[in-house]
Structure 1
Amino acid sequence: MADQPERQPSGEPMPFLLLLPNLVTMAGMCLGLTSMRFVFAGRFEIAVALILLAALIDGLDGLIARRLRATSSFGAELDSLSDFLCFGVAPGILIYQFALSGTSGLGWVFVLIYVCCACLRLARFNVARDDATPGGVKHFTGVPSPAGAILALLPVFLTRSEVMDATAAPMLVALWLGIVGALMISRIPTFSPKALRVPQRWTGWFLIGTAIAVGAIFTRFWLLMVLIDLAYLAMVLQGLVLRRRG
């Protein structure tokens, strides 16, 4: 088909640009691994920042692959393996070390539940990657793993923003991990960036909101992440309501 990338004959050199998306994916995986290193060193802020950066890169590699016509089954599988590490294993270990290490093993059970749900969610995505709504608008089924990781990190955001001390309620944190895991494997239709459309009359307000968000990154970063999590949860609840009505 005309829209499929050409296959490189076996044994012949492959152009560097065709390798670039996979190199970006590997860079994201290295960020996830490095975040765990900082978790074990007690540097939770750096570990969180690396996971968030990995989430940004996760959206970048696919975009690069499509623009360079370098999409492949290998790249898709590599991306899922990287996602499992960065958004399943790394956040689970971070939350355990941050708030659950004193729960006599029960907290670790919820970490395992979260990580297993992330794995199942990614496996399902691999076999249903092209699912779309009847109207043709792309959407995710269940919370995607990068968004799930950001939701799982909500206890860290709440603590660092001084809204509340999540470490004082470890069982609530453990239960929250379980809830996020359930959302990832749920059948709730959730937001996909591909469906984002900004009406022209709202462009000015959208740019102003973006400028405010960028400013908040440098002034009230942790509070901004709390608000982002709450806004995303509101969209998930809206998807749940629409599913029940449907």
Structure 2
Amino acid sequence: MTDLTPNVPDALDDDDQDLDDMPPRRRRRGIYILPNLFTLGALFGGFYAVVMAMNARFDMAAVGIFCAAVLDSLDGRVARMTNTQSAFGEQMDSLSDMVCFGAAPALIVYEWALKGLGKAGWIAAFVYCACAALRLARFNTNIGIVDKRFFQGMPSPAAAAMVVGFIWVVDDHGVKDVVGSPALTWTAFAFALYAGLTMVTNVPFYSFKDISLKRSVPFIVIVLIALGFAVITIHPPIVLFGLFCVYGVSGYVVYGYKRLKGKPVSVISTSKDEPDERGLH
């Protein structure tokens, strides 16, 4: 009689062999929540600013941009402190910066004043927006060869703060019909061009990245920080606008000082193989 019972061990061996032949299952890659929450918060600030500008609430639009700048300054530090850096986070941060500090300020200043200048107005707004994109693209490509202590050109959050800070100060003084004021309109035009073009210069701007939050500091430093917050609360529009205006010209002061002293003025390292070296152009 023929045995019709299947050879179970052989069948199991075939299954095991099939499993061995299958490619290993790739582990799904996720994203880190904490730093990207700060980035999303900054992105919301930029979106909120545009919506407020569409509703002629330019004071709230300025607040949205300043909040976005604060959150943008924190996401990278949080990622480094928690060791949650990722390529996704870098791309997300760059795209958020383009919205918050490139497109949003250009649209806000155009809606606030530049539309009264006709073609000159939208050209100035576009120049600012294009310079922000160029500055971010250059930052991403030169990130490994730039002296970490300085930015190459004014950073986009500071440029946006200068433009919307001027809007905030004027709006805070009760001036609403800016389009009908040639002086304010052309001043906004000048701020947009200055901030935009300064972003794509090679002028060094201090980055504050060499300040470590993990190091101990003298007690007086904490006192000065508290005093700084107190000064800002006296009148936020004027104080913040003044601070960013000082920062906006500080790069040219540093550039001129280094020129007079015969020191290197470029923040690009002389060797791509050693990006941390101190030898600069």
* TM category, shorter: 0.7 to 0.9
Moved over 6 A (4+): 163-166
1:88 paired with 2:120, answer no
1:227 paired with 2:238, answer no
Over 3 Å counting, the alpha-carbon distance change for 1:165 and 1:230 in structure 2 is farther
Distance 1:165 1:33 in 2: 22
Q: Which moved more, 1:53-62 or 1:235-244?
A: 235-244
Distance 2:246 2:72 in 1: 21
- Count residues in correspondence: 231
Distance 1:165 1:196 in 2: 41
Over 3 Å counting, the alpha-carbon distance change for 1:164 and 1:210 in structure 2 is farther
Q: Which moved more, 1:152-161 or 1:137-146?
A: 152-161
Q: Deviations over 1:174-198 (max 9, x none)?
A: 122111111100000101111348x
1:129 paired with 2:143, answer yes
Distance 1:130 1:181 in 2: 24
Over 3 Å counting, the alpha-carbon distance change for 1:192 and 1:163 in structure 2 is farther
Q: Deviations over 1:29-55 (max 9, x none)?
A: 122111101110111111111111111
The corresponding residue for 1:210 is: 225
Over 3 Å counting, the alpha-carbon distance change for 1:10 and 1:26 in structure 2 is farther
Query: What is the Cα deviation at residue 130 of structure 1?
Result: 3.1
Structure-to-structure mapping, 1:2-151, within 5 angstroms: 10-12=26-28, 14=30, 18-133=32-147, 138-151=149-162
The corresponding residue for 1:188 is: 203
Structure number with higher helix proportion:
1
Q: Deviations over 1:58-77 (max 9, x none)?
A: 11111121122221222111
Amino acid in the other structure paired with 1:185: V
Amino acid in the other structure paired with 2:199: M
Is this contact kept in 2: 1:131–1:138, CA < 8 A? no
User: Secondary structure, in 3 states, of the residue corresponding to 1:153?
Assistant: helix
The corresponding residue for 2:278 is: none
Alignment root-mean-square deviation, CA:
2.8
Is this contact kept in 1: 2:105–2:163, CA < 8 A? yes
Query: What is the Cα deviation at residue 156 of structure 1?
Result: 1.3
Q: Deviations over 1:150-208 (max 9, x none)?
A: 122242144145499993321231122111111100000101111348xx99862x445
Over 3 Å counting, the alpha-carbon distance change for 1:223 and 1:208 in structure 2 is farther
Is this contact kept in 2: 1:158–1:165, CA < 8 A? no
Structure-to-structure mapping, 1:163-182, within 5 angstroms: 167=178, 168=181, 169=183, 170-182=185-197
Amino acid in the other structure paired with 2:112: F
- TM-score normalised to structure 2 length: 0.73
Over 3 Å counting, the alpha-carbon distance change for 1:127 and 1:165 in structure 2 is same
Q: Which moved more, 1:113-122 or 1:59-68?
A: 59-68
Structure having the higher Rg: 2
Q: Which moved more, 1:43-52 or 1:228-237?
A: 228-237
Query: What is the Cα deviation at residue 243 of structure 1?
Result: 4.8
User: Percent identity among equivalent residues?
Assistant: 28
User: Secondary structure, in 3 states, of the residue corresponding to 1:193?
Assistant: coil
- TM-score normalised to structure 1 length: 0.83
